Amino acid sequence: MESPLKIGPVFGISLYEVNYFCLLCPPIMNKTTTTYLSLGSNLGDKLNHLQEVVFLIQANVGEVIKTSPVYETPAWGFEGDNFFNACIKVETPLTPTALLEKLLEIETRLGRERNKGTGYSSRTVDIDILYFDKEIVNTDLLTIPHPNLQLRRFVLRPLADIAPQFYHPILNKDTRNLLQECKDKSNITKTPHKLYTNRSQLFSQLEYIAIEGNIGAGKTTLAHKIGQDFNAKLVLERFADNPFLPKFYEDQGRFAFPLEMSFLADRYQQFMDDTSQFDLFKNFMVSDYDINKSIIFAKVTLQEEEFKLYRKLFNLMYKEIKKPKIYIYLYQNTERLLRNIKQRGRGYEQNIAPEYLEQLNRGYFDYIRSFPEQNNLVLDISELDFVENPADYEVILDKIQKYAVKLSF
């Protein structure tokens, strides 16, 4: 039997995502049914609420086949903040009743609090079953097709994007006709945002993620984990073979300039080699460094005149370098960095002064503040152990996900 580890990348969802997002495994059935769902949110981080709904539906309900664009719409039937709305097409093995139960579980998990009154109210997430193929269902708990879908422009507009010719089994009109005849004239605005069926698909849109951090921050380890879990091409810094590095830690003043020039030449060559070649079998690239670390380290270690010369050479090279869609900086406090450095046991690192690590941290933050237009994501992981604790790893992935969802690709 083929290893289940190989299943993830083939279908675009990683083994990690399957393990994390499963609430309760739905019954395995050969037959699936097409269902159309309406999603909405007008509380908190609306866009990420919708994205999380899609991820959970993909993991617990069935395969998400299509997602509509995200629309901004006014509250319907009550006074409240504007909604983000979308529709999705799903192939599910569940019965209508089992589907409803799963969707209610997802709403509860994402903080939905139901109004005990009779009117509408704001909510973190709202998931409605619009159609369940051509079935007509009338029970005390469930009515399909949704009894009000033809009255709601915020439902029909996104539904028309993914099912324009789907016929209402009772009204015998397709979505386009229902939209044309809808008397709801609410202002519906299409946003630049889109929803993804799983994290692998979302991260693949980033094309290139750079993970940076101080010495011993864990950037290489995190890059390895993301690369393995989401089928990314790894671009790792080659520093262990640099002949100037051990000498630099012994005599910084003497060996700083040849060390930084050596690093710059190597990073430039590696970036040009690794980032210019697209790997058809990988979803995106993730690196454990960014070329800008050269200028950050050089500013800390070089004398003023040396740095001026270094910067001229750097600026010439930088024009040709591929830029990351997200620049992640892993922050750890100095005490934690020193503990990590001691634990990994590289002899030439054991005498690194705490003051040098603090200088580097300041250098990174100065750089980040200098480029606010860059997609910088600072993650304080001083209290996290993403290697030994899956929940801590999920915290990091969740923050990357929430940041990435809001980018327009």
Tokens of 171: 């009204």
Q: How many residues does the chain have?
A: 409
Active site residues: 288
For residues 109 and 61, the answer to whether their CB atoms sit within 8 Å is no
- Cα–Cα distance for residue pair 109/115, rounded to 1 Å: 16
Tokens of 232: 């990314």
- Cα–Cα distance for residue pair 65/45, rounded to 1 Å: 24
